[in-house]
Amino acid sequence: MELTKEEEQILQGESGEGPRAALSLLIDVGDFFEASKLIPISSAHISGVSYLTGGDGLIDQLSLFVEKGAKVSIPSTLNPCGMDRVNWENMYIDLNFATKQFEILKLFDELDVSTTCSCTPYDFGHLLSKGQHVAWAESSAVTFANSFFGARTNKEDSLSVLAAAIIGKTPYYGFHLSENRVPNVKVVVEANLNEYTDYSILGEIVGKTFSKHSFQYGAIPYFEKITNPRPQELKALGAALASFGTQLYHVDGITPEQELLAYAEIVDEMVITQDMLEKTYQSFYPETIPDLTVIGCPNANLEEIQNVAKLVKNKKIKEGKEFWVFSSAAQKAIAQSSGYIDILQAAGVKFYTDTCPEVMPYDKMRFTSILTNSVKAAHYIAAPSLNDLPTYILPLKKCVEEFFNE
């Protein structure tokens, strides 16, 4: 990879040990992908925040950067951490975990990263424009950035994104180049997509079907016959696809890079029928109804919060059941001003911020299985080295029907 004079100087340690270590990592990654150079980026979204997923290694790594005096050089937002910063005790989080989590958040603050933790920073001001080069981590956010905004980011990992945020640059390869953004698989949707979970299930079917191919940058589906999707529905589709390695998809007539569709190099295609959708729903159907429902993977936007509020209004949660909604503190403030939080509280819904259904540790004495409306949540909550809890899927309306009395 070719380095500028300024980059050579950073590598010699002239800007200090923090930038030197960060640049050294970017060079390893750039060389690996045979990038020709580093390019400037306008923002970063950083993953690797929860003590559950990052462990003590995360604290060590951040401490190293802080001790070396490193700061991020571009606007940078932060992924969910492992608990609600204010209401962590209500989530049955223990003090040791909370102490470690607060330490991690303080370290990010010292690096000048905005600590309004969420996997959907675009819902509170971290917006992107078409063609803009950025470095985002968090697979669902990467897919949204590439597909919804038409911005350009690779799926940065938690270490490379931190290095990119410090240097303000990322290796020029993969999704930063137009030729790698053209569709390679095609999906014709003959099924009716009526709500959020339908899109999540669609992502599961498509992701699984095309995972037999080994595309260098994952499958890039081109969807036909999806009409008038809401932003959160495209978010749900992308999040589910991302669990199978997709970082970009296009929708005929909807997503911003329509000009690339003419260059599609389709190597496989499929038709989605109503029957396929229903069969996949059945494979996630709960054997017995769990005691906890989690909504907000990825973090709920205002419309999703409003939808929950509409469904639970004038109802009351059933004895022994808990219903949790996850989003950012920013969305909570807006939902509060719209009156939705009061409705949720009256019905017995618990609203948690700063975290998400996947990166928090569940109290396993209390909960032995989980219900959700998101494929991505189901995959990760069940992962053996994360929470290892059986997780089932129902659409929001049915979750509410199971958990609330009139």
* Closest distance to another protein from the beta carbon of 400 (Å): 29
3-state secondary structure of 283: helix
Query: Any residues with CB less than 8 A from the CB of 151 and at least 6 apart, and which?
Result: 128, 129, 130, 131, 132, 133, 134, 145
Q: Which residue do the tokens 């992502």 mark?
A: 203
Q: Which is nearer to another protein, 156 or 304 (CB)?
A: 156
Q: Which two tokens stand for residue 198?
A: 């339908």
Q: How far is the CB of 159 from another protein (least distance, A)?
A: 4
Q: Of the two residues 32 and 285, which places its CB atom closer to another protein in the complex? A: 32
In the bound state with another protein, the residue whose beta carbon lies nearer, of 60 and 109, is 60
How many alpha carbons lie under 13 Å from residue 283 in its C-beta half-sphere?
11
Which CB sits closer to another protein, 76 or 307? 76
Q: How far is the CB of 137 from another protein (least distance, A)?
A: 4
Nearer to another protein by Cβ, of 320 and 384: the residue is 384
**Nearest distance from residue 63's CB to another protein, in Å?**
12
For another protein, give the closer residue by CB, 64 or 289: 64
Torsion angle of the four alpha carbons 45, 47, 50, 55, in this order, in degrees rounded to the nearest 10:
-140
Q: How do strand 44-46 and strand 135-136 relate by DSSP bridges? A: parallel
Angstrom distances, CA of residue 137 to CA of 46, 50, 145, 248:
6, 14, 10, 13
* 192 versus 214: smaller Cβ distance to another protein: 214
Q: How many CB atoms lie within 10 A of CB 13?
A: 12
How far apart are CB 35 and another protein at their closest, in Å? 11
What is the binding site for another protein (CB under 8 A)?
A: 24-25, 27-29, 31-33, 47-48, 50, 53-58, 60-61, 137-139, 142, 154-161, 214, 243, 245, 380, 383-386
Q: State the CB neighbour count (10 A cutoff) for residue 312.
A: 21
Q: Name the DSSP letter for residue 82.
A: S
CB of 91 to another protein, least distance (A): 20
> What's the closest the beta carbon of residue 289 comes to another protein, in angstroms?
25
Token reading at 232: 């959160």
CB atoms within 10 A of CB 404: 20
For residue 46, how many other CB atoms are within 10 A of its CB? 27
CA distance linking residue 276 with residue 278, whole number of Å:
5
Residue 60: CB minimum distance to another protein, A: 7
Q: Which two tokens stand for residue 371?
A: 């219900």
Within 10 Å of residue 18's Cβ, how many Cβ atoms? 21
Least distance from C-beta 379 to another protein, angstroms? 9
CB 101, CB 354: distance < 8 Å = no
In this complex, which beta carbon is closest to another protein, that of residue 191 or of residue 219? 219
- Of the two residues 45 and 186, which places its CB atom closer to another protein in the complex? 45
